Amino acid sequence: MTTKTYSETWDLEVFFQGGSNSKEFYTYLSEIQTELDQFEQQIQQFSTDSLEDVLASYESVVKKVVQASAFISCLLAQDVKDKSASQLQGKVAQLHAKLQVQLGALDEKLVGIDEVSWSKLIQKDVFQPLEYVLNERRRRAGDKLPAAQEKLITSLAVDGYHAWGKLYNSIVGTIKIPVEENGEVKELSVGQAQNRFSNGDREVRKKVSAAWKKAWEGQAETIGAALNHLGGFRLQVYEQRGWDSVLKEPLENNRMKQETLDMMWQVITDHKGTLKKYLERKAELLGLEKLNMYDVSAPLSAEETILSYQEGAEFIIEQFSKFGPELTEFTKQSFEDRWIEAEDRAGKRPGGFCTSFPVSGQSRIFMTYSGTLSNVSTLAHELGHAFHQHAMHGVPTLNRFYASNVAETASTFAEMIVADAAVKYAKDEQEKISLLEDKIQRSVAFYMNIHARFLFETRFYDERKNGLVSVERLNELMVEAQKEAYCDALGEYDTTFWASKMHFFITQVPFYNFPYTFGYLFSLGIYTQALEEGTNYEEKYIALLKDTASMTVEDLAMKHLGVDLTQRDFWEKAVKKSLEDVEEFLQLTKNS
Ligand SMILES: [Zn+2]
């Protein structure tokens, strides 16, 4: 195989020349401004006859706003100290906010069209491909209070609802976790302390865990108040709108039914026994009676295989080629055309992401590659995201905004291909065990940790309806939820998890938990089908990806996979697939 040497830095010049001082980009922003002004006028003069033009303008301007945001996130990620980029970020945020206001105004117009005229209108050929998303916009707006009242809520939410979330973030920013290391006391940030939980030395984990608990307890009253008021605001708004379930909004956002959600958790719960065995075995391997919460992600071995960037890239391409030619070609092209920023250097943002430039029909991937197999997985994961965007090429922009629960379909799928191959090609048994464990840890996270979050959040909102929930009670609810989700397999639980987990405080996304478990299993289910059907599956897969943002998940699964998500079968297969790793792990670690 003759392969080029891949560059570890990306090409942003192809979009706008000159980085954060790009003149081209400045001009672009003022073009967007002009388009937004025109869009506003169009909405003011809206009539059913102008809907086609309005949607064409929306399509054009939203693409450009996304393109601009993508450029800024790339600039800021590659150099966190880029001051000009931060300034530009503020400008782009303003444009974004303006677009949102205008979309609100458009929704108002859509709700204003009477039922008969609407059903006639939507039957027109031009609107047919957009039927689902347009009906959805109209229905969601109709479910809310009259526009004037919603506007009032939105403006009060800035210093009410969202402010509680912001307050939480600023508290977290000040939290220091004092831990003694090498004879001196170090003040760790929350993120630094978190990393210590995967430290191989139990004494370190134990010490950090105690300091961690103390730090969160010190802020528990304030954080508890923030959670109560944020939750109270949310419930009050729902009540005014006449919404009786706290799950209505997150389910709507994820285009899924309550029955689907219930069935998913049911099947997971039915199979937890196997995961429990894993936790018990891990305790044994670590020489413990039972694991404590802080032991769950402890490493079993220290040795790690290192692959150069080139080797990592070639490994990914080779594994993808066993799945399908389109994914393979796309991936090669991404490496060759410098769509990826992977260089290991200072001044970069931590973490990884994939962002799309819809005007150019390209994506960019960001990460820091240091050669671990987990880096290779991350790279495959982000390439999966980019492939999802690629698959959606040619789909109308309005049909490209997929929800959180399907957003990880292609990324998890790609990661799975590579993670499975890595296990297969492990150099020895020890490496095989640790790679399997890495996969099992995902199941533990999605089936146990996230389940605990879901149980806690549901119960918290139930109690909040009747008044404020005290810190003592929050602690109790948290431990109860963890015990249930982890099948009582742990010795010590994380009492203040409700305070340390920022997901409970994200006001933009209520119930920031179950969509991720859904996404993982949905992808696993597709992966299982792909393995069963062998080659030629790729075409089916791409067709599914194209439809991810223009129908409910139940319809998506029925149309492309031929399965009913409200029934057991699909979930059963997906969960079992992931538990095969546990079986293998138990087998390999039997005599150690
Ligand atoms: Zn992802």
Query: Under 8 Å CB-to-CB from 238, ≥6 apart: which residues?
Result: 244, 246, 248, 249
Q: What's at 408, amino acid-wise? A: E
Closest CA to 507 of 98, 149, 157, 153: 157
**pLDDT band for position 302 (cuts 50, 70, 90):** low
pLDDT > 70? residue 568: yes
Q: Contact, 378 vs 367, CB < 8 A? A: yes
Average pLDDT rounded to a whole number, residues 21-46: 97
CA of 383 to the centre of ligand 1 (A): 10
* Each residue's pLDDT tens digit, 345-370: 888 887 889 999 999 999 999 999 98
pLDDT > 60? residue 101: yes
CA of 374 to the centre of ligand 1 (A): 14
CA of 371 to the centre of ligand 1 (A): 19
% residues pLDDT > 90 (the chain)? 85
Average pLDDT rounded to a whole number, residues 327-352: 93
Report how far Cα 248 is from the mean position of its chain's Cα atoms. 20
N-to-C CA span, the chain: 40
Strands 340-341 and 177-181: unpaired
Q: What's the pLDDT at 1?
A: 52
Q: What's the pLDDT at 592?
A: 64
Joined tokens for residue 283: 């305790």
**pLDDT band for position 278 (cuts 50, 70, 90):** very high
Q: What's the pLDDT at 163?
A: 94
Q: How many residues in the chain? A: 592
Whole-model pTM: value is 0.93
CA of 375 to the centre of ligand 1 (A): 13
Cβ-based neighbour number of residue 152 at 10 Å? 11
CA of 408 to the centre of ligand 1 (A): 5
Strands lying side by side in the sheet with 362-366: 340-341, 362-366, 353-357
Q: What's the pLDDT at 337?
A: 97
Closest CA to 65 of 42, 22, 31, 107: 31
* Each residue's pLDDT tens digit, 124-179: 999 999 999 999 999 999 999 998 899 899 889 989 999 999 899 899 888 999 99
Widest Cα–Cα separation across the chain: 76
pLDDT > 80? residue 472: yes
CA of 322 to the centre of ligand 1 (A): 22
460 burial type by CB count under 10 A (0-12 exposed, 13-18 middle, 19+ buried): buried
Cβ-based neighbour number of residue 366 at 10 Å? 20
Q: DSSP class of residue 512?
A: -
Instruction: Give, for 364, the enclosing helix (H) or strand (E).
Output: strand 362-366
Query: Under 8 Å CB-to-CB from 552, ≥6 apart: which residues?
Result: 255, 256, 257
Cβ-based neighbour number of residue 45 at 10 Å? 9
CA of 382 to the centre of ligand 1 (A): 6
Between CA 203 and CA 209 the distance in angstroms is: 10
CA of 378 to the centre of ligand 1 (A): 9
Q: What's the pLDDT at 566?
A: 98
* Each residue's pLDDT tens digit, 77-99: 999 889 999 999 999 989 998 99
CA of 385 to the centre of ligand 1 (A): 7
CA of 238 to the centre of ligand 1 (A): 30
DSSP characters over 403-463: -HHHHTHHHHHHHHHHHHHHHHT-SSHHHHHHHHHHHHHHHIIIIIIHHHHHHHHHHHHHH
CA of 404 to the centre of ligand 1 (A): 10
pLDDT > 60? residue 335: yes
CA of 492 to the centre of ligand 1 (A): 31
CA of 557 to the centre of ligand 1 (A): 20
Average pLDDT rounded to a whole number, residues 384-413: 94
Phi, psi of 47 (to 5 degrees): -145, 165
CA of 411 to the centre of ligand 1 (A): 6
Q: What's at 271, amino acid-wise? A: H
CA of 352 to the centre of ligand 1 (A): 8
CA of 64 to the centre of ligand 1 (A): 23
Between CA 592 and CA 589 the distance in angstroms is: 5
Joined tokens for residue 298: 């402890």
**pLDDT band for position 426 (cuts 50, 70, 90):** confident
- Tell me which residue has tokens 């102008």: 50
* Each residue's pLDDT tens digit, 186-195: 998 888 888 8
Cα 590 to Cα 73, 284, 285, 497, 544, distances in angstroms: 47, 10, 10, 33, 41
Cα 281 to Cα 110, 278, 296, 338, 587, distances in angstroms: 58, 5, 11, 44, 11
CA of 288 to the centre of ligand 1 (A): 34
Phi, psi of 61 (to 5 degrees): -75, -35
What is the rounded radius of gyration, in angstroms, for the C-alpha atoms of the chain? 25
CA of 449 to the centre of ligand 1 (A): 18
pLDDT > 60? residue 42: yes
Phi, psi of 584 (to 5 degrees): -65, -40
CA of 406 to the centre of ligand 1 (A): 10
CA of 522 to the centre of ligand 1 (A): 14
Q: DSSP class of residue 7?
A: P
* Each residue's pLDDT tens digit, 479-502: 999 999 999 999 999 999 999 999
Between CA 283 and CA 292 the distance in angstroms is: 9
Joined tokens for residue 463: 């109690």
Closest CA to 206 of 466, 491, 579, 403: 491
DSSP characters over 13-45: TTTSTTGGG-HHHHHHHHHHHHHHHHHHHHHHT
CA of 409 to the centre of ligand 1 (A): 9
Task: Report the sign of the C-alpha dihedral through residues 38, 43, 49, 51, in that order.
Answer: positive
Between CA 524 and CA 526 the distance in angstroms is: 5
pLDDT > 90? residue 299: no
Name the H helices within 79-219. 83-112, 115-122, 131-143, 147-159, 161-174, 190-196, 202-218
CA of 353 to the centre of ligand 1 (A): 7
Joined tokens for residue 316: 């990914």
CA of 272 to the centre of ligand 1 (A): 25
CA of 111 to the centre of ligand 1 (A): 34
Closest CA to 376 of 442, 301, 302, 435: 435
Please provide the average confidence, as pLDDT, over all residues in the chain. Answer: 94
Between CA 180 and CA 269 the distance in angstroms is: 40
CA of 387 to the centre of ligand 1 (A): 12
